[in-house]
Amino acid sequence: MGRLVRPVFFVAFFNEIMYRSHIMVVRMRHTKSQRNRTRSHHRLSSPSVTLDKATNVPHLRHRASLVTGQYKGRMVVDVQAKLNKKAKKAKQATKEGR
């Protein structure tokens, strides 16, 4: 009474599913020309550098200038404050003996 009896069709169905899930899928190989066509689009593009109109400082497009801290004519990064913070940090490190 304590034994579980499975129907025969269930076992056959389960075995069929297990057999089909382990069958390898044959992959077609890519030809050399197809591989090379794909790789032709993997080249690196040169960075687009623009000169700032006001200061003539080169900078990357759609990014703030690292020299002036301006983007589209307005100040977005306080470069002087960053330099002061970096100098203070270096002074603190030399004081501690790092």
Q: Does a structural domain hold residue 62?
A: yes
Q: Does a structural domain hold residue 87?
A: yes
pTM of the model as a whole: 0.46
Number of domains in the chain: 1
Each residue of 31-53: pLDDT tens digit?
999 999 999 988 888 989 988 88
- With tokens 């992959």, the residue in question is 27
From CA 20, how far away is CA 64, in angstroms rounded? Answer: 57
Low-confidence ranges of the chain (pLDDT < 70): 1-11, 15, 17-25, 98
From CA 23, how far away is CA 17, in angstroms rounded? Answer: 10
Q: Does a structural domain hold residue 8?
A: no
Q: Does a structural domain hold residue 57?
A: yes
- With tokens 């050399």, the residue in question is 32
| Domain that includes residue 78, residue range | 49-98
- Residue type (1 letter), 50: T
Q: Does a structural domain hold residue 29?
A: no
Q: Does a structural domain hold residue 98?
A: yes
Q: Does a structural domain hold residue 33?
A: no
Other Cβ atoms within 10 Å of 64 Cβ, number: 17
- The per-residue DSSP string of 14-59 comes to HHHHHHHHTPPPPPPPPPHHHHHHHHTT-PPPPP-EEE-TTT--EE
